Structure formats: C-alpha cells, structure tokens
Chain A
C-alpha cells in the first residue's frame, strides 16, 4: 500500500553537440546494452536523445561534443555551464577545435564564398544572411577557451569504455580514471 521508500537521487545527464559530427554521441551509444543499466541510474535531461528543449535548473553532468563554430554554439555552451555541476569536454572537437578547426587556416569570408558563391552548380549565389541563421565565428574554438571545463574525454571519438568509466565513476562518487587504451586522441 505504501509507496516504496524514497529512491536515492538519480544523476541527471544533459548532452549536446555543438560544432560536432554526432560521432561522440554514437560512440556513447556504443555502450550497447549497458544503456539499459545506465537508464536505471541516470535521468537524461536536455539531449539530442530526448525532447527536452532546455537544461533544467540543476543538472549533474553535461556532456559537450563539438567545438564552437557559431554564436548559437556559444549560447548553448553557456546554458550548459550555468546548469551543470560537472561540464565534460567530449572528443577532440570540444577539446582542441578538432577537424572543423582546419577552417581556421582560411578567412571566414573565403569559406563562405567558396561554399555559396564560387562552388560549381550554384543557383542564385549569395551568402545566407537571414537573422534566423546563427552567425559563424571568425575561428572555430575549443570550449575551454569560453567556459571552465571539469572533465575531458579525449578521442575522435572517445571509446564507449571512456563514457562508461566517466559516468560510473561520477555515479559512484569517485574520480574517473581512463585506462591507457581508452585515453587516445584519434
């Protein structure tokens, strides 16, 4: 008749992809059937895997994939930092800018010209300028240049084992420790 006694507070996890390729999220899902076990232990907040539009006031862990390439990325990153107790830079893009930062070799204007004006087969060539579209930043940046980062998961993408170690460690209240073969940059 009585409801079960109060459950221990579940860890809340929010995730997002900024200038990412969603590969880190896919690698996270490579924990395979352990996602069922994880679903018993954590509640997902804002994430591409849920329909939550904004972070709750207090989230335990925020996993950020991708670097910063436009102004919306910066807004989302700041929302995550304001909401999350632990912010995790996930993958090479979030940590170093990654492959998208190769565009830092060129001016923004030359990139836009190449894509929207000079490339072959373009009808009505013009650079998109609707205010709905977030403006690109001059350079792609890693997230630690804008907000404080508490943990990192290196790799492109980090292996599923690295996600598992990070989350199980934080659930258990211990410091995550990545084994040699799970701490890689490629």
Chain B
C-alpha cells in the first residue's frame, strides 16, 4: 500500500497518509466534519454518529473508516447534513437542554453543532429524563440530564488520568454515566479538578463549581464563530474550558 495518496471530500482532492481515518485526514487538511464524541487523543468511539459520511456511496463513520486511494467521500451534502440535524435533535429531545440557564451555553459543542447544522427546533417529543444531579464533589458537579454519553470523560479518566472514575451503565434509554465510588457519587471518588476528565466534557454535564457565567455574552467561543471555522482538534489543555 502506498505511504500516501489522495481522496476526495465533496469533490475536493485531499491528501492522506496510509492508515489514517477519514476524520484524521480531513482534520489535517483543515476540513471540518461535525463530531461530538471524537477527540484525537483517544481511540474513536463511534457513539454520536455526527461524523457520518458516505464513502464510495456507503454510509460510514468518518472517525472509524480508513481512507483508501481515490475514495469519494460525501460530507456536506443536503442529505447528510439533514441526517446529522436529526441526530442532534434526538440528543436535544433526549435530555434536558435548557440552554437559557446552562453555564456552558455559548461554549457548548452540542449547541454549536446544532447552530452549524441550522437546527432551530427539536422536532421530536421530549423525554424529560429525571436523573439526579450530583453535587457531592467540592469542586465539580454532574448534571446527568445534559450528558450525551460521548464517554470522553470515561476515556480521559482511564487513558490520561489513570483513575477510571467514570463508566457507562444500563441499557438502551436507561444508559447513563456512572461514577466509580462506593456510593456512586463523584464526591466519594478520587476525581480532581486537575484531571483531564474534568475538562473534556463537550456539553454542560461535568462542570467546575463557582466558575459560572464568567464570560460576557458575545465573547463566548461560539457566539460569533461557527464551530466549523475553528480547529476542533486542539489538545484538551489548550481549550481553556
């Protein structure tokens, strides 16, 4: 197999190196493919389905699919953007995403992807889950109703912090984030605000305490800039969140 080659994203010739996924090659070429559960530090997860593309006419996840020479990838077509919008609407209707009073509003990747895709309403019937808020930790809290099960905190705690504080338990709609402590509460785990896992949540589920609403409206990450314009693949430490 060749060391490198070319493939097409929406008709645009894009270079790739052998072994790269569509997401990796696209990111390196500065081409944004919407995603929530993918970060370059971790193995791909494949839960959010936002990076779905058509590769040689077949639906696949860009975070998993290796690029092949001459592969034709469709990403920004009306069909695929329409599917992605429905996926984001499902995530909104599944949780309690009241952006109006969420501390993450303006800095939230779920919200920003919704803006990017032109989402205006939630389309589906709302689930209104009734999960318990976990405010047991002195420095952080978990609002489980905002969790999108991307498992970035699970992976960060396991692979970077070597603590394994988080996991996902339950099946189907009952699946939820759990904490590895005797009581199941964050306050009884060895989680610390200095952990990578404390800064990787793309939504308002894991939040540091006493740091809310510090950025003026208009200066938040996605107030003026579409998420597609930024390099979403900057390392966790540089995100400043």
Residues on A close to B: CB < 8 A? Answer: 89, 92, 95-99, 101-102, 104-105, 139, 141-142, 144-145, 149, 152-154, 156, 178, 180-181, 183-186
Q: Is B12 part of the binding interface, using a Cβ–Cβ cutoff of 8 Å?
A: no
B120 touches A156 (CB 8 A): no
* Subset of 18 A-B contacts with CB under 8 Å: A95-B121, A96-B92, A96-B122, A98-B100, A101-B96, A101-B98, A101-B126, A102-B96, A102-B98, A105-B128, A142-B122, A144-B121, A144-B122, A144-B123, A145-B125, A152-B121, A185-B99, A186-B106
B111 at the interface (CB under 8 A from A): yes
Instruction: Given A89-B121, A152-B120, answer yes or no on A185-B100 (Cβ-Cβ < 8 Å).
Output: yes
* Besides the known contacts A98-B98, A183-B120, 14 further A-B residue pairs in the complex with CB atoms under 8 A apart: A95-B121, A96-B97, A96-B98, A99-B100, A101-B98, A102-B98, A144-B121, A152-B120, A153-B120, A154-B120, A156-B99, A183-B115, A183-B118, A185-B99
Encode B86-114 as 1/0 by CB contact (under 8 A) with A.
00000010001111111001100001001
Contacts of B106 in A (CB 8 A): 186
Q: Which of B92, B105, B121, B126 contacts A186 (CB 8 A)?
A: B105
Once the chains are docked, how many angstroms separate the CA of A139 from the CA of B101?
Answer: 20
Of chain A, the residue at the smallest CB distance from B217 is A186
State in angstroms the CA–CA spacing of A184 and B105 once bound together.
10
If A101-B128, A156-B99 touch, whether A95 touches B122 (CB-CB below 8 Å) is yes
Give, as a whole number of angstroms, the nearest-CB distance from B31 to chain A: 20
Q: How would residues 131 to 151 of chain B score, 1 for a CB under 8 Å from any chain A CB and 0 otherwise? A: 000000000000000000000
Across-interface contacts of A181 in B (CB, < 8 A):
223-224
Q: How far is the CA of A95 from the CA of B120 in the complex (A)?
A: 9
Give which listed residue, B99, B125, B128, B224, contacts A92 with CB less than 8 A: B99
Partner of A99, one of B101, B105, B120, B125: B101
Task: Please name all residues of chain B whose beta carbon is closer than 8 Å to the beta carbon of A139 when the two chains form the complex.
Answer: 128
Residues of B within 8 A of A96 (CB): 92, 97-98, 122, 126
Q: How far, in whole Å, are A149 and B226 apart by their CA atoms in the complex? A: 27
Please indicate the chain A residues that have their CB under 8 angstroms from the CB of B122 in the complex: 95-96, 142, 144
Residue of chain B at shortest CB distance from A178: B120
* A107 shortest CB reach to chain B, Å: 10
Q: Is B174 an interface residue (CB 8 A)?
A: no
Is the C-beta of B183 less than 8 angstroms from some C-beta in chain A?
no
Alpha-carbon distance A139/B127, docked complex (angstroms)? 11
Measured between C-beta atoms, what is the minimum distance from B217 to chain A in Å? 8
Q: Is B214 an interface residue when CB atoms closer than 8 A count as contact?
A: no
Chain B minimum-CB-distance residue to A153: B120
Interface residue B77 (Cβ < 8 Å from any Cβ of A): no
A101 — which chain B residues lie within 8 A by C-beta? Answer: 96, 98, 126, 128
B194 at the A interface (CB under 8 A): no
Q: Specify which chain A residues have a CB less than 8 angstroms from the CB of B223 in the assembled complex.
A: 181
Quick check: is B211 within 8 A (CB to CB) of the other chain? no
A156–B125 CA distance with the chains assembled, in angstroms = 20
Complex-state Cα separation, A185 to B222, whole angstroms? 12
Interchain nearest-CB distance for B41 vs A (Å): 29
Q: A101-B98, A183-B115 are in contact. Are A154 and B126 (CB under 8 A)?
A: no
Known: A101-B128, A142-B126. A154 touches B121 (CB 8 A): yes
Cα(A142)–Cα(B124), bound, Å: 10
Complex: A156 Cα to B111 Cα, angstroms: 14
The answer on a CB contact under 8 Å between A92 and B98 is yes
